[in-house]
């Protein structure tokens, strides 16, 4: 039984305020969970409630969300069983009363939702992944490590937001992680030798000023080879264009202004996609088109969906309403799952279920603003989907998730599974 729910304001990895929620049970269990925060957010994401008080944290304080947990949500949850996740999540959705959680804030609601799940797991003496996923869950996700950052995550000359190395051919998670960490360090040497910057962006990847977006991919391929791995066999490439961030109308116009690539149409973007997929060992491509360009997205998938995973992030925002439309219209073939885009654990699981039922893949993802909370690692194992996106081999808020996955792999021992498809 829940005896206390209490929130506080903490800082995320960008130094911006976010919400941490503590939940206590009558058996002495006390746990906490912390909420992440995005930068390249989709228009239809659940609302992250910020105070707007310019006198505190440049308006980004979350004291209103904290107060909503303490004064509005907490009194309703006292006495409920922490195991009643779906009931608790539904109660919070009703209390909020809006489709995008703008009354209480998705940051308030998600913090409680995550902390309740962790409290129930702890109380049962189960690891979080086992509580959420059951005994069948023993697949460790393949990591997509974001080793070059651009777009909204870095102040450089690269339009594409994320260039990821994916150890899809590795025999285990641990070996896969090692291969991409080695690639990351080799990449640093290459950048240094060319006089390029090796400071990191929000997700811990390098953020050099390269001559073009292609150069980012080509440099990563060089790093993979120099590190002793085979591009396209041991390690593949994943991209997140986050195309909404360079589409002024969030639709059919694309301005590759950082790299000097000019103004492109949806058709140009699709042609560019085909060229790159022909030329490079690309496994998955997220948000290749902007969130309102459903038709462009569909055509991209029609052309390339049989060769790569076309992943919708900003276009679906982990919301079954948009995923359902995507499935009907064949807009993509995969979904990025971010808990704070929708705002509860239960709705995130619903989104995963919808993907599974449609034969779509799903990628469990962090946000560019993260905390030391490792909930995501357990959630990814529990969802049994086989892919996680949680940043580079630097910045402890990213490494914390990798370290948690190493722990889970060790715990599962010989029963652990690791495979791409």
User: According to CB under 6 A, which one of 18, 41, 390, 392 is a site residue for ligand PGA?
Assistant: 41
To Zn ion, the closest distance from the beta carbon of 380 in angstroms equals: 16
Q: Among the options 338, 370, 401, 409, which is catalytic?
A: 338
> Among this protein's residues, is 338 annotated catalytic?
yes
Site for Zn ion in 266-295 (CB under 5 A): 286
Closer by beta carbon to ligand PGA, 138 or else 401: 401
DSSP string, 229-290: --BTTTBEEEEE--GGGG-TTSSSEEEETTTT-EEEEHHHHHHHHHHHHHHS-EEEEE-SS-
202 binds Zn ion (CB under 5 A): no
Instruction: Give yes or no for residue 247 binding ligand PGA (CB under 6 A).
Output: no
Least CB distance from residue 240 to ligand PGA, whole Å?
A: 5
Please pick, from the candidates 203, 309, 313, 378, the single residue that binds Zn ion as defined by CB under 5 A.
Answer: 313
Phi, psi of 123 (to 5 degrees): -65, -35
3-state secondary structure of 163: strand
Which residue lies nearest Zn ion, judged by its C-beta?
A: 313
- Strands, sheet with 17-25, edge to edge from the N-terminal-most edge strand: 2-11, 17-25, 30-34
Rounded-to-integer distance, Cα 93 and Cα 161, Å: 32
Asked if 240 is part of the footprint of Zn ion (rule: CB under 5 A), the reply reads yes
- Does residue 365 interact with ligand PGA by CB under 6 A? yes
368 binds, among Zn ion, ligand PGA, none (CB under 5 to 8 A by kind): ligand PGA
85-96 vs 345-358: helix crossing angle, rounded to 10: 110
Check: CB of residue 82 under 8 Å from CB of residue 120. Answer: yes
Largest Cα–Cα distance of the chain, in whole Å? 62
Choice from 367, 398, 401, 404 touching ligand PGA (CB under 6 A):
367
Choose the one of Zn ion, ligand PGA, none that binds residue 365, judging by a C-beta under 5 to 8 angstroms depending on kind.
ligand PGA
Using rule CB under 5 A, residue 45 touches Zn ion: no
Catalytic residue, chosen from 182, 203, 291, 409, is 203
As measured in angstroms, the least distance from the Cβ of 298 to ligand PGA is 20
Looking at 359-419, list the stretches that DSSP marks H as alpha helix, in order from N- to C-terminal side. 375-383, 396-412
Q: Confirm if 66 and 11 have CB atoms less than 8 A apart.
A: no
Q: Which residues of 83-112 are buried (b: 16+ CB within 10 A; e: fewer)?
A: bebeebbeebbebbeeeebeebbbbbbbbb
38 binds ligand PGA (CB under 6 A): yes
**Contact stretch for ligand PGA (CB under 6 A) within 56-64, 215-223, 325-333, 360-368:** 360-368
Give the integer Cα–Cα distance in Å for 62 and 180. Answer: 36
The least CB distance from residue 351 to ligand PGA, in Å, is 15
Q: Which stretch binds ligand PGA (CB under 6 A): 207-215, 222-230, 265-273, 364-372?
A: 364-372
Count of residues that bind Zn ion according to CB under 5 A: 4
Answer yes or no whether residue 397 interacts with Zn ion by CB under 5 A: no
Phi and psi torsions of 296, nearest 5°: -60, -45
**How long a stretch of residues is the chain?**
421
Residue count at the site for ligand PGA (CB under 6 A)? 11
**Rounded Cα distance, 340 and 8, in Å:** 17
Binding residues vs Zn ion (CB under 5 A): 240, 242, 286, 313
- Active-site positions? 203, 338
Binding residues vs ligand PGA (CB under 6 A): 38-41, 240, 242, 313, 336, 365, 367-368
């Amino acid at each position: 039984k829940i005896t206390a729910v209490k929130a506080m304001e903490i800082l995320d990895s960008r130094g911006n305020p976010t919400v941490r929620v503590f939940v206590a049970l009558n058996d002495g269990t006390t746990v906490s969970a912390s909420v992440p925060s995005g930068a390249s957010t989709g228009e239809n994401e659940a609302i992250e409630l910020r105070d707007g008080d310019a006198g505190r944290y440049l308006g980004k304080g979350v004291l209103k969300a904290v107060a909503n947990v303490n004064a509005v949500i907490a009194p309703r949850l006292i006495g409920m069983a922490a195991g009643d996740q779906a009931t608790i999540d539904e109660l919070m959705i009703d209390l909020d009363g809006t489709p995008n959680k703008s009354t209480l804030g998705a940051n308030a609601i998600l913090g409680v939702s995550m902390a309740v799940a962790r409290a129930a797991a702890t109380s049962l003496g189960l690891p979080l992944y086992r509580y959420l996923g059951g005994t069948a869950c023993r697949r460790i996700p393949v990591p997509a490590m974001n080793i070059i950052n651009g777009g909204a995550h870095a102040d450089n000359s690269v339009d594409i937001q994320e260039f990821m190395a994916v150890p899809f051919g590795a025999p285990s998670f641990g070996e896969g992680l090692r291969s991409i960490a080695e690639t990351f360090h080799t990449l640093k040497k290459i950048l240094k030798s060319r006089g390029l910057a090796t400071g990191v962006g929000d997700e811990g990847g390098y953020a050099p000023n390269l001559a073009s977006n292609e150069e980012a991919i080509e440099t990563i391929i060089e790093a993979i080879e120099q590190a002793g791995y085979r591009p396209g066999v041991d390690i593949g490439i994943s991209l997140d264009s986050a195309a909404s961030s360079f589409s002024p109308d969030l639709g059919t116009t694309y301005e590759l202004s950082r790299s000097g690539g000019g103004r492109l149409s949806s058709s140009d973007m699709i042609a560019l996609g085909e060229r790159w997929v022909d030329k490079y060992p690309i496994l998955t491509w997220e948000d290749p088109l902007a969130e309102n360009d459903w038709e462009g997205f569909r055509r991209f998938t029609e052309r390339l969906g049989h060769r790569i995973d076309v992943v919708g992030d900003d276009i679906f925002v982990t919301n079954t309403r948009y995923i359902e439309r995507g499935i009907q219209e064949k807009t993509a073939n995969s979904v990025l799952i971010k808990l704070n885009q929708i705002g509860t654990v239960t709705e995130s699981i619903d989104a995963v279920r919808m993907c599974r039922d449609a034969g779509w893949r799903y990628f469990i993802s962090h946000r560019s603003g993260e905390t030391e909370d490792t909930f995501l690692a357990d959630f990814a194992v529990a969802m049994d989907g086989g892919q996680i996106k949680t940043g580079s081999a630097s910045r402890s808020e990213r490494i914390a998730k990798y370290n948690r996955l190493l722990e889970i792999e060790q715990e599962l021992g010989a029963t652990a599974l690791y495979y791409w498809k």
